[in-house]
Structure 1
Amino acid sequence: MKFSNNDKINEIEKQIEELEDQALQMNAAAEPVIKVKQKNKVTLTEAKPGVGNTTNFNSTGPKKCIGCGRELQTVDDRLPGFSLNIEKQDLCLRCFKIKYYNKLVEQEINDQDFINIIDEINSTSKKIRYYYVVDIFDLPGSRLTWLEQLISKKEVIIVVNKIDLFPKSVKKTKIFNYVKKFFSDSPIRDSKILLTSSIKQDYVYALVNELKSVEYDQYIVGISNAGKSSLMNACLKLNQQIPSIVTSKYVNTTLDKIKINFTEKNFVYDTPGLVKHNHIAIATAPSYWDFFFFQKEIKQVTYQLNQGQSIFYGGLAWFTFEEGQAYNEKNGKEAKTGFHLYVNKQLPLHRTKAENAQRYFKKNRHSLAPRLLDKDIDFETHTFSYDKEKKVDIHISGLGWINFKSYDGMKLSVTVPKTEYGVKVSELEALI
């Protein structure tokens, strides 16, 4: 039977996926089951001392919170690490309330502390491996070019998180090639790439194997809410250990280095996430952050638009088809243009005329959800014009992306709240 090139590629991809599944099953069967126990909601105890979260194991210094890594203190409840009882508690008050009540305790967190930690790690002449975690749903917003420059001096593995939330029709090889091209201008462009997710165990095996393969220092780094701590908890769980690192929808949940031992000799440090200054969540109240950090498979919503129509993202931002009405060449009549919005399933969308956009926002801004923290905030508009046909994605940090096929004369705009650092709006080659 004669195959086309595409048929051959599909057959090879199928064989690779089957081999990956076999390898995952073999790894799962080879792992010994070790029962772990939790004494109570405050104190976590591993079945075997010296493995799991070993932040305070054999430590001669001050006791640290095993949830965020900060030194425990009883002096000031406004500062990180505050505890009611250091002797009896392994979690600070902040982590305890996040973990068991999903409630954020507001505390003063200095961004410079995070940068100092990275500088300190990178100053050693010893061999080091970095795991640079990025969010597949916010690749432009996940990148920190200055951080990539720093870690490029050491061994780096790029960890692409949350890929299981993509539609099942998107092949892993396509995601892999897309990410590789995305980092083609980076000093870490030749690094190994791992596609992973903290939700499904099948995607965690490769990361666990990498973490257990070396005995020199390893560090998990990246932007806040890229999913670093969730990945570490998934690895601990797969390794039959207690997933004790505190994770949440809030930024900066991890505040200092947390040491994790997968064996007695093998360990990795989970580090604090650097603040996502360009994320739209910054312009909203924390109670709305569930809308911006994806937990379920992404939703595709398709609109057929004429020029002069806008799509609202709740009460946050809007996308407008400004100019470039399409025409049906066969009958010479106007034709609508298709736009595919990839968004959080919970996020409400609303279509309106572009001329009514400002009026719609002002009239409904108090009742829309999610909505902006500052009702009088200013907006800024990003404009995109096209002179040829190509498949395009426009990413809005925190809201997903818009997929469409451009053509000569098309003009689009994205209007977002004006923040101190700006909400990142980027144009990329289409992934799906």
Structure 2
Amino acid sequence: MKFFNDNNDDNNKIKEIEKEVNDLENKLISTSKTNNEQKIKQTSKVSLKEYEPGIGNTTNFDGNGPKKCVGCGKELQINDEKIPGYVIDIEKQDYCLRCFKIKNYNRLVEQDINDKDFIEILDNINKEKEKIRYYYVVDIFDLPGSRLDWLEKLISTKEVIILANKVDLLPKAVSSKKILDFLTDYFSSSPLKNSKIMLTSSIKDSYIFNLILELRKIKYDQYIIGISNAGKSSLINACLRLNQQIPSIVTSKYVNTTLDKIKINFTKDNFIYDTPGLIKHKHIAIATAPSYWDYFFFQKEIKQITYQLYKDQTIFYGGLAWFSFDDGEILNEKQKPKKTSFHFYVNKRLPLHRTKTLNAMNYFKKHRHSLSPRLKDINYDFVTHNFDFDKVDKVDIHISGLGWINFETFKGMKVSITVPKTEYGVSVKLLKPLI
């Protein structure tokens, strides 16, 4: 299989990729089993074939209309490699070049992607049929950043199940009941307040099994929707795997991996559509290069780090943002200030650093070239979110992409979060405590 034209003189780099691709493809073997445990090699190097026709990824099953990429759902084309769906040979290839590179090399191929097209797809879905079930996926690690008010209002006229995904990232000591109680309260002011809530994880089979049972109850249209990187496609692939089918949808840390809706049949009678994800405009990853996105989109349990701080002390999140304990103190029996505990729930890889609040901006300017992860533009302006408290309470402050800070407030306490100033703003929300 080739990804270039032999008559093109400017193809040396693509030839190298072609050799890597061919070497890798020769190693690809389907390990799905029939009743007699027979192993069958794929008849096409890039084709995905289920043992029973019409089951699994049925994007091109009926043969009607133009052929689409089984990884992202985009129509295949041979005219412009900068546009999603580009291949050299439409007949032989099932993955477009973009998806193949993401799937096998974790490389992002820059292509023109229009958010308005995604919104139009979701709006059209709502108008097609009266009876529809939506699975609305939110990221438990980034609840404020993975919700869209307009989307919740749009789908609230249909049947909706809220999938709180990535619960495997939470500390094991947190009970499912506590998480469900928190989510019920969290969605109490949403148009989806009466919707069923399910905890999910693409890593834990017990969660996937419950989701499969739910999916297989329904014989009308089902759609899985949500923000990019909330884990929609990973959930479907996990369902396919546990249902003894072939996972085929491309997933990665990059936004907009799925570009058009993809039809997945779990049986001949029920199916689900994976839909494009909408960009997390208020996520801090927007302010960084994709090479740092492993710090924000990850698959390991979050870490709790506790700092005991006096007022006028600051904690840095790498070279991205910082939390400051600006004012307020409680005196002990000797009338001396007591330290206040702040619990940071973050990616285990994300470095935190303590400094004096007075020195915070100077510290950032001095080390912004060497800190990691860091902003893609060293000239970013910053915006500070201030929080003043007048009573004793337990709260969380969520920063989209960085996790949250849990602490107990008291009268006169003042804290702040400083984040880079982006086009849509990085989401910083005060919520009731999750843990």
- Shift of residue 128, structure 1, vs aligned partner: 0.3
Q: In the alignment, residue 431 of structure 1 is paired with which amino acid?
A: L
- Shift of residue 41, structure 1, vs aligned partner: 5.5
Find 1:225's aligned residue among 229, 242, 255: 229
- Provide the C-alpha distance between the structure 1 equivalents of 2:205 and 2:43, rounded to a whole number of angstroms: 26
For structure 1, which segment, 41-50 or 123-132, has the greater mean C-alpha deviation from structure 2 after superposition? 41-50
Summarize the alignment of residues 413-424 of structure 1 with structure 2, pairs less than 5 Å apart. Answer: 413-424=416-427
* 2:135 aligned partner: 131
- Shift of residue 43, structure 1, vs aligned partner: 1.7
* 1:187 aligned partner: 191
In 2, are the aligned partners of 1:34 and 1:240 still within 8 Å (CA)? no
- Shift of residue 325, structure 1, vs aligned partner: 2.1
Q: In the alignment, residue 297 of structure 2 is paired with which amino acid?
A: F
Name structure 2 gaps, 5 residues minimum. 1-34
Three-state SS of the structure 2 residue aligned to 1:350 is strand
Q: What is the TM-score normalised by the length of structure 1?
A: 0.91
- Provide the C-alpha distance between the structure 1 equivalents of 2:204 and 2:119, rounded to a whole number of angstroms: 31
- Shift of residue 44, structure 1, vs aligned partner: 1.4
| Matching of residue 92 in structure 1 with residue 96 in structure 2 | yes
Three-state SS of the structure 2 residue aligned to 1:60 is coil
Q: In the alignment, residue 385 of structure 1 is paired with which amino acid?
A: D
- The 1:390–1:37 alpha-carbon spacing in structure 2 relative to 1, beyond 3 Å, is farther
Query: Which string of whole-angstrom CA distances, capped at 9 and with x for unpartnered residues, describes residues 16-35 of structure 1?
Result: xxxxxxxxxxxxxxx99997
Query: Which string of whole-angstrom CA distances, capped at 9 and with x for unpartnered residues, describes residues 113-132 of structure 1?
Result: 00000111001243100000
Summarize the alignment of residues 113-128 of structure 1 with structure 2, pairs less than 5 Å apart. Answer: 113-128=117-132
Summarize the alignment of residues 202-213 of structure 1 with structure 2, pairs less than 5 Å apart. Answer: 202-213=206-217
Query: Which string of whole-angstrom CA distances, capped at 9 and with x for unpartnered residues, describes residues 238-270 of structure 1?
Result: 000011000000010000000000011211000
For structure 1, which segment, 82-91 or 392-401, has the greater mean C-alpha deviation from structure 2 after superposition? 82-91
- Shift of residue 221, structure 1, vs aligned partner: 0.5
Q: In the alignment, residue 290 of structure 1 is paired with which amino acid?
A: D
Q: In the alignment, residue 64 of structure 1 is paired with which amino acid?
A: K
- How many residues in Structure 1 have an aligned counterpart in Structure 2? 401
* 2:220 aligned partner: 216
Q: In the alignment, residue 156 of structure 1 is paired with which amino acid?
A: V
Three-state SS of the structure 1 residue aligned to 2:285 is helix
Name structure 1 gaps, 5 residues minimum. 1-30
Three-state SS of the structure 2 residue aligned to 1:335 is coil
In 1, are the aligned partners of 2:141 and 2:169 still within 8 Å (CA)? no
- Shift of residue 54, structure 1, vs aligned partner: 0.5
- Shift of residue 327, structure 1, vs aligned partner: 1.6
Q: In the alignment, residue 229 of structure 1 is paired with which amino acid?
A: S
Three-state SS of the structure 1 residue aligned to 2:107 is coil
* 1:349 aligned partner: 352
- Provide the C-alpha distance between the structure 1 equivalents of 2:155 and 2:136, rounded to a whole number of angstroms: 9
- The 1:381–1:233 alpha-carbon spacing in structure 2 relative to 1, beyond 3 Å, is same
| Matching of residue 312 in structure 1 with residue 316 in structure 2 | yes
- Provide the C-alpha distance between the structure 2 equivalents of 1:131 and 1:32, rounded to a whole number of angstroms: 36
- Provide the C-alpha distance between the structure 2 equivalents of 1:34 and 1:151, rounded to a whole number of angstroms: 44
| Matching of residue 236 in structure 1 with residue 240 in structure 2 | yes
- Provide the C-alpha distance between the structure 2 equivalents of 1:383 and 1:223, rounded to a whole number of angstroms: 27
Find 1:390's aligned residue among 386, 389, 393: 393
Query: Which string of whole-angstrom CA distances, capped at 9 and with x for unpartnered residues, describes residues 334-391 of structure 1?
Result: 1100000000011011100011111111111111111101110100000000000110
- The 1:233–1:332 alpha-carbon spacing in structure 2 relative to 1, beyond 3 Å, is same
- Shift of residue 47, structure 1, vs aligned partner: 1.6
Over the aligned positions, Cα root-mean-square deviation in angstroms equals: 1.5
| Matching of residue 172 in structure 1 with residue 183 in structure 2 | no
- The 1:168–1:33 alpha-carbon spacing in structure 2 relative to 1, beyond 3 Å, is farther
Q: In the alignment, residue 100 of structure 1 is paired with which amino acid?
A: N
Find 1:363's aligned residue among 363, 366, 375: 366
Three-state SS of the structure 2 residue aligned to 1:382 is strand
- The 1:190–1:280 alpha-carbon spacing in structure 2 relative to 1, beyond 3 Å, is same
Three-state SS of the structure 2 residue aligned to 1:203 is helix
In 1, are the aligned partners of 2:326 and 2:416 still within 8 Å (CA)? yes
Find 1:302's aligned residue among 301, 306, 309: 306
- Shift of residue 139, structure 1, vs aligned partner: 0.7
- Provide the C-alpha distance between the structure 2 equivalents of 1:335 and 1:346, rounded to a whole number of angstroms: 30
Three-state SS of the structure 2 residue aligned to 1:334 is coil
Q: In the alignment, residue 126 of structure 1 is paired with which amino acid?
A: E
- Provide the C-alpha distance between the structure 2 equivalents of 1:37 and 1:132, rounded to a whole number of angstroms: 37
Find 1:402's aligned residue among 382, 401, 405: 405
- The 1:130–1:188 alpha-carbon spacing in structure 2 relative to 1, beyond 3 Å, is same
- The 1:309–1:38 alpha-carbon spacing in structure 2 relative to 1, beyond 3 Å, is farther
- Shift of residue 232, structure 1, vs aligned partner: 0.3
- The 1:34–1:130 alpha-carbon spacing in structure 2 relative to 1, beyond 3 Å, is farther
- The 1:40–1:338 alpha-carbon spacing in structure 2 relative to 1, beyond 3 Å, is farther
Three-state SS of the structure 1 residue aligned to 2:315 is strand
Find 2:277's aligned residue among 273, 279, 293: 273
Summarize the alignment of residues 254-273 of structure 1 with structure 2, pairs less than 5 Å apart. Answer: 254-273=258-277
| Matching of residue 106 in structure 1 with residue 110 in structure 2 | yes
- Provide the C-alpha distance between the structure 1 equivalents of 2:406 and 2:343, rounded to a whole number of angstroms: 5
In 1, are the aligned partners of 2:72 and 2:260 still within 8 Å (CA)? yes
* 1:83 aligned partner: 87
Find 2:342's aligned residue among 333, 339, 344: 339
Q: In the alignment, residue 270 of structure 2 is paired with which amino acid?
A: N
Q: What is the TM-score normalised by the length of structure 2?
A: 0.90
